[in-house]
Amino acid sequence: MIEAARPRLARSLTVQTQTGGEELNPDRTSSGMFFQRGESELLARLEARIAHLLRWPVENGEGLQVLHYRPGAEYKPHYDYFDPGEPGTAKVLQRGGQRLATLVMYLNEPQQGGGTTFPDLGLEVAPQRGNAVFFSYDRPSPATRTLHGGAPVVAGEKWVATKWLREREFK
Ligand code: PD2
Ligand code: ZN
């Protein structure tokens, strides 16, 4: 998956909630790319396995996102749901509704740093190849306590794949 993603990486963008467009964000210094759902046999197999494990329809999943962090790169704490109070959110929700859950899968192990942090919980998940962290949020609210971030990579590099799960079919 890393080798399939590598030639397609670009500096990560985040949804600009004011407009529904995308923008460069200094809080997010990774590079990333999205696969289309079912784009290769490997991805289709992985997606079927994720759907089975999480009991979530494969059609409700976004295409997998791969992120690459070099030393110093990080993803500051954020929520993965779309803020209902922001004007751009209506447009983003047209494609499958809200995000309801996140699966971050670790594709390698950085030498130092790069944990996934949950500041409200005092929890940091260590990036270990073959492991993943799953969390869900039943409403787009900080009350879900799903604030999370990617701590700076100190040494080595970090590769993850993220699957976001939506309310409805993501087309
Ligand atoms: O790479 C991570 O640990 C991370 C942290 C926070 C990934 C995401 N969020 C994400 O892909 O949303
Ligand atoms: Zn996130």
Domain boundaries, the chain: 2-166
| Mean pLDDT along residues 75-90 | 94
For ligand 1, what atom is nearest to the CA of residue 116? Answer: 3
Is the entire prediction scored with pTM above 0.85? yes
The pLDDT of residue 120: 97
Cα of 164 to ligand 2 centre, how many Å?
9
Q: How far apart are CA 95 and CA 83, in angstroms?
A: 15
| Mean pLDDT along residues 144-165 | 98
Q: Where are the alpha helices (DSSP H) in 15-99?
A: 41-54, 89-93
Chain mean pLDDT for the chain: 94
Predicted confidence (pLDDT) at residue 60 exceeds the cutoff of 80 = yes
Correct CATH for 2-166 of 3.40.605.10, 2.60.120.620, 3.10.20.30, 3.50.50.60: 2.60.120.620
H/E stretch holding 113 reads: strand 112-113
Which residues fall within 8 angstroms of residue 58, CB to CB, at 6 or more apart? Answer: 37, 47, 48, 50, 51
Q: How far apart are CA 36 and CA 83, in angstroms?
A: 24
Phi-psi region of 91 (alpha: psi -120 to 50; beta: other; left: phi over 0): alpha
Predicted confidence (pLDDT) at residue 13 exceeds the cutoff of 80 = no
Q: What tokens were used for 148?
A: 């999370």
The pLDDT of residue 63: 97
Instruction: Band the pLDDT of 11: cuts 50, 70, 90.
Output: confident
The protein residue with its alpha carbon nearest to ligand 1, atom 5, reads: 150
Cα of 79 to ligand 2 centre, how many Å?
6
